[in-house]
Structures are given as C-alpha cells and as structure tokens.
C-alpha cells in the first residue's frame, strides 16, 4: 500500500489485500475501522474495559498491547505489522471517534457533533527485540522492535502535519497533508486555481503558510546506541536516529536502557553528495517505548522450566560453593576474591527510605596486586558474565568518559549530553583496569557515582541528574609496581581515602613465592594450554551450572529476590561493627597515624550488602547469621587485612620487642652517617648476619623513617642518613 517511504494512505472502493506472515487477508477500510472500534470498546482485561477506561483517563494517547490485539483479532495485528504507517493513521482516527462518542455519552450531549480530540496510538509488546545491526532494506516501512541506550537528544522542534497555504497572487487557499516522521512537506510549485481567459497566471512558488490555521505538533530526535551487552566483541556500537512526536517528546531520559517499537523509515540526507541519487538515510519513527526496569534486566523471559530449575538449584546445600566454582575457573586459587566477585554479580538490595533517601545495593570491589596476579583476567570474566558491563582502562579514561560530557552539535549548534561509562552501565557493572594510572581529578569524578549512584551535570546551560546505578570493580598496582614490605598500607595503595571508603571489599593480591602454590599454578596454566597434559590438580569443574545458566541465574536472582537482614543478624552486626572500630582505633593509637583505609559507617553498610548478596544466591528473602558471618569473614580477610598490612601489621609492641628495636636502631645509626647513602638490601643483610631478626630491622627502619631520621631514595632501594640522627 505504501510508496517509497511516503507513509500516505489511499482508499479505493475495492477490498484491500495485504500479505503478512505469508498469509493474505482481505479487508476493506470500513471493516478494519469496525473491528478496531469493537476492540477499543469491548476488550476486557480482569473484567474491566481496559482500553475504553484508558482512553477516558488519558485522552491524548492510547497504549495498545500487541498481544491483546492479536488475541482479539489476528487480522488487525497482521495489517499493523505489514503496513504500520497506513493503519496507525486509521487506528488513530478510530480512537478519536470512539473518544468523542464516549465523552458525548458521559456528558449526556445529544444531537450535537462532539469535538474530536487528537489521540496518539502507542504500541507495546512482549516480542523479543532484534539486533540494531540486523536492520536493513527488507525492513523499510515495517514495524521493528530494537533495544539500546539513548545517548543524545535534540531540543523540542515543531513540525507541521497539515499546512494551510494561501496564494500571494490570487488568494487561492489550499491545504496539504505532511507525511509523518522526518519527511518534509511537498509544497506545489504552481497555484492550481483555474484562471480566467486573459488573466495573468500566478508566478512559481506563490504560497504563503498560514501558521495560525495550520496543525503543528512537537517532535524530537534521539540518538539511539546499541547496548554494551548486545555489542559483539571488538565492534564499535551501532547507532540510529529516532523520531519522537506528540506525547513521546521528552519521554526518554538519557542513559536509559530502552526497547523501542517503531517504523523503520528513510529520509533525505541533510547534505547532498554528488552521485548520491536514490540514497537515503534510515531512521525509526517511534510508536512505542518500553523502559527496562530492575525486573526487566533479562532480555528473554524466564520459562517455567527455568524457574523450577533455579529454585531446585537454590535449595542445594552447597549452592554458594557451586556458584563460586564457576567464577573464573581458568584462574587457579584466589578463592576469596572469586567469592567477592560472586557477591558483586548478585548484589545487595537497593533501599529507599521514608524521606526519599536511597541506599545503594550494588557492591564495589578493588583489587590491588602485583603484576601477573590475574586481576585483569577477573575483570574480563566479569565482562563476559554480567548482564550489563562496560570495560575501560584507567589510563585511557577521563572524567567525562566515565561520567558524562556536554557536546555541541556542529550542525545545529545545540548542546546535548553524551553519557559515559557509569551511565551506560546503569543496572550493571563497570570494570576499570589500571585504576592507579588514572589522574586524581578523574577519580574524584567517581565519588558521587559510586555512593549516591547519580551524576550531576551543570554545564552550558544544562542542569540535570543522571542515574549510574552500577557496581564498580577496579584493578590497580602498588605505586612501585610490587608490594614493598618496608612500606605501610597507605604507601602501598597510594589512593585517597575518599575513594577507598567507597569500595566495599579491598583485596591485596601478592605474588608470594611458595613451592606448592607455584607448582599448582604452573600446572593449571599448562593444562589450559595443552588439554592432554596430565594435571595433578582436580580439573573436573562441576557441571551443575554452566556459564550461560549462571548468567541467567544471576539475572533471575537480581530481578526477583530482595533479601533483608534478620533481627538476630542485625544484633550480631552491631557487635561486629563496634569491635572493628575498636581494633582500628587501637591500631591508629599504636602507629600514630590514621588507618590507610578508613572504617566508617559505609563499611557497616558494605557488610550488610555482602550478606544480602549471599542470601540472594540462595533465593532467600532473609539474610541469616550464617550469611553475616561469611560476609564479615570476607570483609575481614580483604579490607581489614589490607588496613593491617605493611610494616605496621603486627600487634602491640612488647617490652622485649621494644628492646630489640632499640638495639637495631643503634646498629643502623652506627652504619649511617649524615648524608651517607646505603643500600637497603645490604644494610638489612649485614645486620641479619650479626644475629638481628629481619622483621625487627624492618620495623626499626620504618620507625626511624616516621621520625624523619632516615630518608628512602630510589623507591626504597637506598637509605640516606639525615642530620637529626645525631
């Protein structure tokens, strides 16, 4: 029925034949109008005339569920799919007629023609969206359904849908209908009035637009980009232009994951290129928007068989161990790190307090370790497993790239927001490798996004707040590349306490030399490279939960399980938090310095989130004392151990140890002169041969450094005596 993307409607007195789904259906426009009118008036859902009531409550638009329409009459659905531009106009005309009659009946108006208000038909469906990359010429003028993220929006513009023209010469009046979408109105070149004999004809293009008597609607264009979870590895995200009009204008928030129903259309390019005749640019005229909520993070609906399988798996007594065994199975060891990753993937429960304050449920994890300790491999595993992931490297990431930037359109001169990684990963995970290589002011930009989970923008006259409800897992190296046992935890991390306090779990991964451990790791690596290699470790990973099923199970738990702490667990947590704060205070009094990683109320919330994630793995709505104990164990061997690590990791100094430290200090002073430089290794080895304990020597060096009696040079490889020694 449609011409080359004209979207116009032509009627004849003959029956219309439309093919859809390989089946030919014959219907006249009057019969289609009658069927759709019956659908609006008579369709019932839960004993309620759903569409009739919806039309009365919101006269400007009517949301039609394609499944309801198909159940009522499959022919109507077929007509709509085969020629949506034509039949949407017909359906809107019917809806306006029904609305007018309903209002007339309601107001008891008789024998008067009621005013017809414009109604926009919107469509929704449970149909699975197709990939944006699959759209092609075969889809032109067809109804399509795709998903993606809105990354840029234009200002509101005005488009005419009906123009009233007046000939400037002869005052002839003419009305033209403009095609929908982004197609331009075609104004006749000549006046069509029949002139009298001898009358001077009107000149070309004599028309003047009467704006007051023309019909105009609001329109807006959106840049729609392919979602990171649908992006093939190594490919650049595809994008397409969306056209929104009437009630859909300003409906889309930037950074949102959306599913769009629309008509795949084409338009003339804005600039003509030589030899480009017949080439048009595609866009989608939107006729329905479905926003993905927390319950809709899964693209494909869960079947009854899947739900039954998930519940059976959750009832398994070792479900926690089974899940952790599937986390990065190619990496040997790091069991507690894998458990932390499992907690991050499942996440805690997001809460909204009575005063509107929101408490995040997403878990943030920081991995600080020596090179070649599988930190990046863990991040890559998360990238393949989590439903929504954005992976970035710290050195190549800026504050604008992580949060959002304001960009000026070179064509229109308008400013629009370009969302960054934290917004694009809303509802998922952001993986940041080389976190320590980022510039300090770029890391500061993450403060609001990691805790409040929003990003505030006030630039170029734009003031808005965007959501960034995402978990952050970051990997970093110590400043010198390797952990230095002569340094404190603060020196080995070298990150601001403001950013460290926003991580729920902080792991120090050290490349320690251990014969049995090294043998297991090299065996594991060789087994990955050579399948036939006879590996002595147990390589039979459990087949109870494959990686694909793990992904589905994570999505199901995040969507349908929101656990809370039990009363007994809450009481236990109070005692745990008090003891943690007491230990931190004692350590600060002993070292004379605040802890490298602050222990605040955020860490209390971190333990709660980890407990909820452990309960979520079991599909339990209650986090028990057992979950809390495991959460505290993970917190203790990660963040607390990191706080106690380094040279100040020992407990209080006994009198015997203090005497040995003073003896070591005396020997060090005798070997150092004012301004004299000595190799750290040679100094320690020399004192060790004299019978002094190495840990005592190292402790003495740190204490002397804190008193400014010595100074480290060459990243700790050399020591210089200062004047205050004597």
Q: Are residues 224 and 268 in the same domain?
A: yes
Q: What pLDDT does 111 receive?
A: 45
pLDDT at 309 over 70: yes
pLDDT at 378 over 50: yes
Comparing 76-80, 158-162, 207-211, 271-275, which segment has the lowest mean pLDDT?
271-275
Asked if residue 571 is part of any domain, the answer here is yes
> Can you give the pTM of this predicted structure?
0.69
Cα-based distances in Å from 503 to 394, 498, 659: 16, 10, 39
pLDDT in tens, 344-367: 999 888 888 888 788 888 999 999
Q: What is the mean pLDDT of residues 181-204?
A: 81
At 649, the pLDDT band (50, 70, 90 cuts) reads very low
**CATH number of the domain where residue 88 is located:** 3.30.1640.10
Q: What pLDDT does 365 receive?
A: 93
Contact 599, 643 (CB under 8 A): yes
**CATH number of the domain where residue 698 is located:** 1.10.10.10
pLDDT in tens, 53-94: 888 888 888 888 888 888 888 888 888 888 888 888 888 888
pLDDT at 14 over 50: no
Report CA Rg, the chain: 34
Q: What is the mean pLDDT of residues 550-576?
A: 87
Q: What is the mean pLDDT of residues 232-251?
A: 82
Query: Pairing mode, if any, of strands 157-167 and 207-209?
Result: antiparallel
Asked if residue 94 is part of any domain, the answer here is yes
Q: What average pLDDT does the structure give for the chain?
A: 79
Q: Are residues 144 and 248 in the same domain?
A: yes
Q: What is the mean pLDDT of residues 84-109?
A: 79
For residue 488, the SS3 value is strand
Neighbours of 321 (CB within 10 A): 12
Q: Are residues 392 and 372 in the same domain?
A: yes
Asked if residue 11 is part of any domain, the answer here is no
The most confident of the ranges 99-113, 318-332, 452-466 is 318-332
Residue after which a domain boundary falls, among 593, 619, 644: 644
Q: Are residues 583 and 503 in the same domain?
A: yes
Tell me which residue range forms the domain holding 559: 304-530+541-644
Specify the number of domains making up the chain: 4
Asked if residue 448 is part of any domain, the answer here is yes
**CATH number of the domain where residue 371 is located:** 3.40.50.300
Residue after which a domain boundary falls, among 582, 613, 644: 644
Comparing 16-25, 218-227, 419-428, which segment has the lowest mean pLDDT?
16-25
Half-sphere exposure of 23 (CA within 13 A, CB side): 10
Q: What pLDDT does 109 receive?
A: 47
**CATH number of the domain where residue 182 is located:** 2.40.50.140
At 723, the pLDDT band (50, 70, 90 cuts) reads low
pLDDT at 652 over 80: no
Q: Are residues 308 and 206 in the same domain?
A: no
pLDDT at 161 over 70: yes
At 535, the pLDDT band (50, 70, 90 cuts) reads very low
Q: Are residues 137 and 119 in the same domain?
A: no
How far is Cα 625 from Cα 572, in angstroms, rounded to an integer?
A: 8
pLDDT at 542 over 50: no
Comparing 106-115, 177-186, 522-531, which segment has the lowest mean pLDDT?
106-115
pLDDT at 515 over 90: no
Asked if residue 298 is part of any domain, the answer here is no
Contact 462, 406 (CB under 8 A): yes
What does residue 419 show for φ and ψ, rounded to 5 degrees?
A: -70, 150
Q: Are residues 318 and 407 in the same domain?
A: yes
Q: What pLDDT does 537 receive?
A: 43
Q: What is the mean pLDDT of residues 310-323?
A: 87
Residue after which a domain boundary falls, among 83, 105, 125: 125
Q: Are residues 624 and 688 in the same domain?
A: no
pLDDT at 114 over 70: no
Pick the residue with more confidence: 339 or 127? 339
Q: How far is CA 358 from the centre of its chain?
A: 18
Q: What pLDDT does 647 receive?
A: 55
pLDDT in tens, 448-495: 888 888 888 777 667 777 788 889 999 998 887 777 665 667 777 878
Q: What pLDDT does 579 receive?
A: 83
Q: Are residues 422 and 569 in the same domain?
A: yes
249-253 long-range contacts (CB < 8 A, ≥24 apart) are 249/156, 249/218, 249/219, 249/220, 250/156, 250/220, 251/289, 252/150, 252/153, 252/222, 252/289, 253/150, 253/466, 253/467
Q: What pLDDT does 441 receive?
A: 82
Asked if residue 650 is part of any domain, the answer here is no
How far is Cα 446 from Cα 202, in angstroms, rounded to an integer?
A: 66
Q: Are residues 373 and 447 in the same domain?
A: yes
Q: Are residues 308 and 248 in the same domain?
A: no
pLDDT at 640 over 60: yes
Q: What pLDDT does 609 receive?
A: 92
Contact 28, 15 (CB under 8 A): yes
Asked if residue 8 is part of any domain, the answer here is no
Q: What pLDDT does 135 receive?
A: 87
At 106, the pLDDT band (50, 70, 90 cuts) reads low
Q: What pLDDT does 472 receive?
A: 92
Q: What is the mean pLDDT of residues 153-176?
A: 85
Asked if residue 59 is part of any domain, the answer here is yes
pLDDT at 3 over 70: no
At 412, the pLDDT band (50, 70, 90 cuts) reads low
* Contacts with 35 (C-beta within 8 Å, 6 or more apart), sequence order: 27, 73, 75, 76
Q: What pLDDT does 29 receive?
A: 78
Q: Are residues 29 and 166 in the same domain?
A: no
pLDDT at 16 over 60: no
């Amino acid at each position: 029925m449609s011409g080359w993307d004209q979207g116009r409607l032509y009627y004849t007195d003959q029956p219309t034949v439309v093919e859809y789904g390989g089946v030919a259906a014959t219907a006249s426009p009057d019969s289609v109008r009658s069927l759709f009118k019956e659908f609006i008036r008579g369709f019932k859902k839960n004993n309620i005339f759903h569409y009739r009531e919806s039309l009365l409550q919101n006269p400007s638009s009517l949301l039609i569920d394609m499944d309801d329409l198909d159940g009522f009459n499959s022919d109507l659905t077929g007509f709509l799919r085969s020629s949506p531009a034509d039949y949407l106009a017909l359906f809107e005309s019917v809806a306006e007629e029904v609305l007018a009659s309903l209002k007339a009946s309601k107001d008891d108006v008789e024998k008067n023609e009621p005013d017809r208000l414009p109604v926009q038909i919107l469509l929704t469906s449970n149909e699975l969206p197709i990939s944006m990359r699959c759209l092609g010429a075969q889809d032109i003028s067809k109804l399509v359904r795709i998903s993606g993220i809105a990354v840029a929006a234009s200002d509101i513009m005005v488009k005419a849908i009906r123009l009233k023209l007046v000939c400037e010469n002869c005052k002839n009046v003419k009305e033209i209908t403009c095609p929908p979408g982004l197609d331009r109105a075609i104004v006749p070149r000549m006046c069509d009035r029949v002139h009298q004999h001898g009358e001077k004809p009107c000149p070309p293009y004599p028309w003047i637009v009467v704006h007051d008597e023309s019909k105009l609607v609001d329109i807006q264009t959106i840049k729609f980009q392919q979602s990171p979870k649908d992006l093939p590895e190594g490919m650049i995200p595809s994008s397409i232009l969306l056209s929104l009009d009437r009630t859909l204008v300003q409906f889309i928030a930037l950074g949102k994951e959306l599913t769009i129903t629309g008509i795949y259309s084409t338009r003339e390019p804005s600039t003509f290129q030589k030899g480009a005749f017949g080439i048009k640019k595609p866009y989608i005229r939107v006729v329905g928007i479905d926003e993905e909520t927390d319950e809709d993070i899964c693209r494909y609906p869960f079947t009854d068989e899947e739900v039954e399988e998930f519940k059976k798996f959750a009832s398994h007594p070792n479900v926690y161990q089974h899940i952790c065994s599937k986390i990065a199975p190619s990496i040997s060891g790091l069991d507690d790190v894998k458990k932390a990753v499992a907690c991050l993937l499942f996440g805690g429960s997001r809460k909204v307090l009575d005063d509107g304050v929101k408490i995040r449920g997403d878990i943030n994890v920081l991995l600080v370790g020596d090179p070649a300790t599988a930190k990046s491999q863990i991040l890559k595993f998360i990238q393949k497993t989590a439903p929504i992931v954005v992976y970035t490297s710290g050195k190549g990431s800026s504050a604008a790239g992580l949060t959002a930037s304001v960009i000026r359109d070179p064509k229109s001169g308008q400013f629009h927001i370009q969302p960054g990684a934290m917004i694009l990963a809303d509802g998922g995970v952001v993986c940041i490798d080389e976190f320590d290589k980022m510039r300090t002011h770029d890391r500061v930009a993450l403060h609001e996004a990691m805790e409040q989970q929003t990003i505030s923008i006030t630039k170029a006259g734009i003031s808005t707040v965007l959501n960034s409800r995402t978990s952050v897992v970051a990997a970093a190296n110590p400043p010198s590349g390797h952990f230095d046992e002569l340094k404190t935890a603060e020196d080995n991390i070298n990150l601001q306490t403001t950013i460290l306090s926003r991580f729920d779990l902080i792991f120090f991964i050290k490349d320690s030399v251990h014969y049995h451990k090294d043998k297991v790791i090299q065996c594991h690596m060789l087994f990955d490279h050579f399948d036939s290699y006879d590996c002595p470790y147990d390589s039979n990973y459990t087949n109870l939960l494959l990686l694909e099923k793990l992904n589905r199970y994570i999505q199901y738990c995040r969507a349908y399980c929101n656990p809370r702490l039990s009363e007994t667990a809450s009481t236990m947590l109070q005692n745990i938090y008090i003891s943690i704060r007491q230990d931190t205070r004692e350590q600060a009094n002993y070292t004379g310095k605040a802890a490298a990683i602050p222990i605040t109320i955020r860490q209390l919330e971190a333990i709660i989130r980890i407990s909820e994630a452990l309960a979520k793995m079991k599909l339990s709505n209650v986090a028990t004392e057992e979950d809390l104990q495991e959460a505290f164990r993970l917190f203790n061997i990660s963040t607390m151990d990191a706080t106690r690590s380094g040279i100040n990791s020992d407990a209080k100094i006994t009198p015997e140890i203090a005497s040995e430290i003073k003896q070591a200090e005396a020997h060090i002073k005798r070997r150092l002169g004012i301004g004299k430089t000595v190799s750290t290794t040679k100094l320690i080895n020399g004192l060790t041969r004299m019978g002094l304990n190495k840990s005592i020597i190292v402790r003495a060096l740190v204490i002397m450094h804190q008193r400014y009696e010595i100074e480290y040079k060459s990243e700790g490889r050399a020591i210089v005596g200062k004047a205050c020694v004597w």
